[in-house]
Chain A
Amino acid sequence: MPLADPSIADTLPQFHLTPLDQIPTIVDSVRNTYHTGRTRPLEFRINQLQKLYYGLCDTESIAIAAIAADLGRANFETSWADINYTKSELLKIIKSMKTWLADEHISEGIPWYLRWAHQSYLKKDPMGVVLIIGPWNYPWNLNLIPFMGALAAGNTCIVKPSEVSPHSSAALEKLFEISGIDKECYRIIQGGVEETTLVLKQQFDKICYTGNGAVGKIVARAAAEFLTPVMLELYVPPPTPMNIQRDTNFAPQRRQKPHHHCALREYRPRRQAHRLGQNPQLWPILHCSRLYSHPPLPRNPFHH
């Protein structure tokens, strides 16, 4: 059965617009929560992401039905591109976020004889309140992956899913509710043009918009009012030059297996060196001895 049973649409969560007068209050409360510092500890963020993971598992059937009701997409495609892909990203984030968010030691620009006394590093600070405006074509994937990134980075977050796919957007709200992630930190605002316009009149610290160029310009203009940085993912059709010869196999590269073992053997010692460098207490030793440098990028394993 390629499509979900259309009758299930009646049992899906209902889409309700967020009342206009509540929008400024919601944004304010999320900003206030950010300033309390609740999202600063890594443990809190990991816990929230873990809740979100099991929420994703629990709402899987709702998501498949909702997306099928909105887009008429085959269940397999939803399961792959929206649900399981999002899950795999989430697991990866939970597993690696400590490494990604670790202080990055920088020694460039400090003379070697000063390095034990002058220490500099890049601290990965949350930006503040993030607004994510998602599209309708991959409601789970393109709303949740930026959201997970913003959550892991320690921001509080407002998600505005597309009103064009109302079932999916309502299901997304259900996901937030079921997973039990912190309501004061992470909120969903449902709405169309009018609501979004009002949301964009509020101040954010980063806005992520996925959609088309025309709306992208509106978002960027509204963001400029507060000097808010934007991440825009805008659809421009992909050109594909294709050389179709007599019996070309479209995937010649699949016949050339990369030498995995060679790449791994070469990479491991450098990764260990890098791990040593992540311990700030070792920096003085590492740098006075001048034995340590940042690990160079691995040689391209495919160039054999």
Chain B
Amino acid sequence: MHEILKTTSGEVKLGGEIIDRQDRLIEVTLVSLGHVSEGKWRTDSLMQQEIFGPLFSYIVYDDDNLTSALDVVKQMSDTSLGSYVFAEKKAEKDLVLNNTRSGGFCINEAFMNTVIAGLPFGGVGQSGTGAYRGKWSVLSFVHQRPVLENKGAWVDWLLSFRFPPYLESNYKAIKAGAGKPSFSRPAGQSKL
């Protein structure tokens, strides 16, 4: 973490001191990576690796240009384990929710989606595959094995169209079994 702080191109706004190496204590540290348009975030050490500590970096975007922030999100951590939005306007929440992807998502909250046992916790893309917690913990380690039991010998007779000889009536039976559409041919598609 010390290494990351030493090499960052951002400006430390708060904290930045290591209090005690022995006890692994570090100050809460806030680093500004400037405005989106400056592009510092593309190469900065804070954006390259995992940080398991109280180091926060932030990038400023213009109030009327949330999409520029979403571009950063898409380029730097497109499929993160979680992503969060803090906003009051529904339009903004929806814009972020519908234009990003991540394992989990919180609105005006951070991280708490992972402690709700009813919600599966897991990633997507680069942040992994599969999910667990609560019900999903059990279902993730289960093979859902389909079982079919035939309880009546006459069913074999009823479904005898499966067996040879393949007569015209067999074809009729499977054709009837496929069902009929409830919609007509979509406009613009011509019949072959």
Contacts and interface: CB of A to CB of B under 8 A. Distances in A.
Interface of A: 3, 6, 71-72, 81, 85, 88-89, 92-93, 96-97, 100-101, 103-104, 106, 114, 116-127, 130, 137, 145-146, 148-150, 152-155, 206, 208, 212-213, 216, 229-245, 248, 250-253
A125 B146 contact: no
A145 B121 CA distance: 11
Interface string B69-84: 1101100110111111
B180 interface: no
B178 interface: no
B86 A243 contact: yes
Nearest to B24: A72
Interface of B: 23-25, 47, 50-52, 61, 63, 66, 69-70, 72-73, 76-77, 79-89, 92, 96, 100, 102, 107-111, 115, 117, 121-123, 126-152, 154-155, 158
Task: For the complex of A and B, list the 7 residue pairs with the smallest distance between their C-beta atoms, beginning with the closest.
Answer: A149-B137, A231-B130, A117-B152, A72-B24, A232-B128, A153-B141, A236-B80
A92 B117 contact: yes
A239 B100 contact: yes
Contact of A123 (B76, B147, B155): B147
Contacts of A93: 134, 137-138
Contacts of A122: 144-147
Q: Which of A103, A137, A153, A231 has the most CB of B within 10 A?
A: A231
Contact of B87 (A6, A100, A118, A241): A241
Q: Which of B23, B82, B130 has the most CB of A within 10 A?
A: B130
B174 to A, nearest CB: 13
Contacts of A100: 135, 138-139
Contacts of A130: 141
A235 B110 contact: no
B81 A234 contact: yes
Contacts of B154: 117
Contacts, number: 209
27 contacts: A72-B25, A81-B115, A89-B117, A89-B137, A97-B138, A106-B146, A114-B155, A118-B150, A123-B147, A145-B132, A145-B137, A146-B137, A149-B140, A152-B138, A152-B141, A233-B123, A234-B127, A236-B126, A238-B81, A238-B83, A238-B84, A238-B110, A239-B76, A239-B100, A240-B86, A241-B61, A241-B70
Given A117-B152, A123-B145, 10 more contacts: A6-B23, A117-B155, A118-B150, A125-B144, A149-B141, A230-B130, A240-B85, A241-B69, A241-B85, A248-B88
B145 A125 contact: yes
Nearest to A99: B135
Contacts of A104: 144
Given A145-B137, A153-B142, A236 B123 contact: yes
A119 B137 contact: no
Nearest to A210: B128
A118 B123 contact: no
Contacts of A244: 86
Given A89-B133, A231-B132, A127 B127 contact: no
Contacts of A88: 117
Given A251-B108, A253-B107, A127 B143 contact: yes
Contacts of A6: 23
Nearest to A120: B148
Nearest to A135: B52
B135 A96 contact: yes
